[in-house]
Amino acid sequence: MAISMPQNRDAPSKSSAEILAGLLSGNRLRVRSDIVAAGVHPQTLARAVEAGSAVLYARGIYMAPNADLPEGAGFAATTLLNPGGVVCLSSAALYHRLSDENPDAIFYAVGNKTMKVVGAARDPVRLVHWSEAARTIGVDTVDIAGVPVRITSPARTVVDMLRYRTKLGDEPAMKTLKDYAASGGDLNLVLEIARELGWTKSVEPAVRAAEEIQPLIPRPMR
């Protein structure tokens, strides 16, 4: 007796609205080119913004109307528009709670000195030019708004703030070092990173002083 087999039926294709909603779900930021590549026509995207079912976060970047974006969303937007760089210096210090001062621009390290910033209007970007090693050693990748963002680690951020203190100021640099030490940060790791980068001379004296007083620094309240 012949056995009837169930027919294979393709799942119904998703509408552009469903595709867009899926892309923007989970408090994510999405760049226009990725949305279009997923099958949403540019005119459909524009109409979604007009209808309020999508929101233009910054030039070329979109989010859901009910999105609750995490801290550092500006870093994610900068990474989407200018891939390959590293969030650093005062911006990284603020992210790691080693500063309470919000800089007027996102510090972003790149290698190409001819690179021009594709800026998101709401977040000015200040480029710093580093070697490949400087853009690798002590650099972490964190997920912010669905975007892999490269950012200097807390220890590396201390190194950078001390090295750049003639440009950014002694006070921000020393606060970063103090807050790192107060949080129980590994000062030996700071020195190790400085040595790898060849920046020991501008970093070691302050770190050695911090080592002496670290046990006396009160820990921050949780």
Domain map of the chain by residue range? 16-63, 73-216
pLDDT at 115: 73
Check residue 12 and give its pLDDT: 55
The domain defined by 73-216 folds into: Beta Polymerase; domain 2 (3.30.460)
Q: What is the pLDDT of residue 25?
A: 92
Name the burial class of residue 54, with classes exposed (0-12), middle (13-18) and buried (19+) by CB atoms within 10 angstroms of its CB.
buried
Residue 69: what pLDDT?
A: 93
pLDDT at 1: 36
Segments in the chain below pLDDT 70: 1-13, 119-121, 213-222
